[in-house]
Amino acid sequence: MRLRHVLTRVGVAITVASAAIVLLLWLEHRRTVELPVPTGPLPVGRTSVTAADFRLWIWYPAATAAPAGPYLPDATRTEWERARPGFINFLTADLSKVRAHSAHDVALSAAEARYPVVMLGGGGSGTSGLSFSTLAEDLASHGYIVASVDAAAGKNPELCVGRADEEACATEVMMPLVGRIGRALDSLRDLSTGDARFNDKLDLTHVGIVGHSFGGAQAAQFCSQDPRCGVGIDIDGRLFGSVVQVGLSVPFMFLLSDHGALDDPVDRQITGQIQAVYERQPHDTRMRAIIRGAHHFTFSDDGALLKSAVFRGVLRLLGRLHIDGRRQIEVTAYALHTFFDAHLKGKTGWRSAFASQAYPELFESP
């Protein structure tokens, strides 16, 4: 009888604890989440334009501050929620309650005659730049017009992992996406001559390319082959394509998460390829920076800010995350606008800025 009583009490305790956890997760899911405030002096606007087979999201310096629009349009939010398993949605903030900082379809600022352009790419074969809204808004607030391709996902590069021809397979998947960056720039050129808001406002002689993960690989490859790239940034992306052999001649930064001691052979191979390309770059225009404690999957809004604390807690328990997600994105935004300011706007002292006491997590790696 005593054993049965104990088991009953244990069962009740487990049931109560499980219900409490579910309730806490639900309250966390339903809470309002505000993205980090842009650090530049200019308010931010956002719009979208449709090209032949893709949509471009565009963030830009706004003429005046105005109330921000929804983080995601209703149709996009519904599509994202439908595409993900229900439990993933449950472990992600309610996207209708996420607050960004860009006003929709407002006038462009006249603070500068023309603005440099930055193309922003997400990971995989079709991750929307909307998942990197914090980085886009921050760049726009510092005087950039930021554009990101939103298109149906192509072949998933993850299908190449582990194959004997993994690099060739991933390169084959990547090259059409690299070509799409060029077509997106063509669309922006048309926009600069055919749209009243952006007429002659896009400085397409000063173009930056930045991407995360597989998007970073695309940025590196594009900058190695297309002269329209003036400066590039690869955020923790493995290299594929001819860039591994031919290298880079334009200013380029590898911004990496904290890979620790590199015990894994694949990590060592990836890091070795990046190092080989980096060492062949012109010394005065190259940067290999690491964010101490950062994780690959927490560079985006989704991974760093919108996923449940349970998700980030698991990464901490596994020893893979040692920095707050919000802080990781803030440090990343600082690194991006500092590097672009130097090489698209000619600001000096950029290398010493990476030793800023305000961002001790960011350091240059030899």
Per residue, the 3-state secondary structure of the chain, as one string, reads CHHHHHHHHHHHHHHHHHHHHHHHHHHHHHCCEECCCCCCCCCEEEEEEECCCCEEEEEEEECCCCCCCECCCHHHHHHHHHHCCHHHHHCECCHHHEECCEEECCCECCCCCCEEEEEEECCCCCCCHHHHHHHHHHHHHCCCEEEEEECCCCCCHHHHCCCCCHHHHHHHHHHHHHHHHHHHHHHHHHHHHHCCCCCCCEEEEEEEEEEECHHHHHHHHHHHHCCCCCEEEEECCCCCCCHHHHCCCCCEEEEECCCCCCCCHHHHHHHHHHHHHHHHCCHHHEEEEEECCCCHHHCCHHHHHHECHHHHHHHHHCCCCCCCHHHHHHHHHHHHHHHHHHHHCCCCCHHHHCCCCCCCCEEECC
Average pLDDT over residues 142-163: 88
What is the pLDDT, as a whole number, of residue 142? Answer: 98
Under the banding of pLDDT at 50, 70 and 90, the label for residue 306 is: confident
Asked whether residue 22 is assigned to any structural domain, the reply reads no
Asked whether residue 283 is assigned to any structural domain, the reply reads yes
Buried b (16+ CB within 10 A) or exposed e, 8-31: eeeeeeeeeeeeeeeeebeebbee
Mean pLDDT score of the chain:
89
Per-residue pLDDT at 203 exceeds 90: yes
Provide CB contacts within 8 A for 192, sequence distance 6+. 198, 199, 200, 201, 202, 204
Q: Provide the domain count of the chain.
A: 1
Asked whether residue 306 is assigned to any structural domain, the reply reads yes
Q: Whole-angstrom Cα distance, residue 108 to residue 207?
A: 19
Structure-block tokens of residue 20:
């409490």
- Is residue 340 within 8 A of residue 116, CB to CB? The reply is yes
Average pLDDT over residues 124-146: 90
Asked whether residue 11 is assigned to any structural domain, the reply reads no
Closest CA to 240 of 175, 159, 183: 175
Asked whether residue 18 is assigned to any structural domain, the reply reads no
Asked whether residue 14 is assigned to any structural domain, the reply reads no
Q: Whole-angstrom Cα distance, residue 208 to residue 213?
A: 17
Asked whether residue 255 is assigned to any structural domain, the reply reads yes
Using one digit for the tens of pLDDT, what is the confidence trace for 308-365? Answer: 777 777 777 877 778 999 999 999 999 999 999 999 999 999 999 998 999 999 999 8
- Domain span at 173: 31-364
What is the pLDDT, as a whole number, of residue 17? Answer: 59
CATH of the domain at 205: 3.40.50.1820
Q: How far is CA 11 from CA 6, 24, 45, 100, 248, in A?
A: 9, 20, 54, 43, 62
Per-residue pLDDT at 7 exceeds 70: no
User: In one letter, which amino acid is 58?
Assistant: I
pTM: 0.91
Share of the chain above pLDDT 90, in %: 63
Q: Whole-angstrom Cα distance, residue 233 to residue 251?
A: 9
Asked whether residue 23 is assigned to any structural domain, the reply reads no
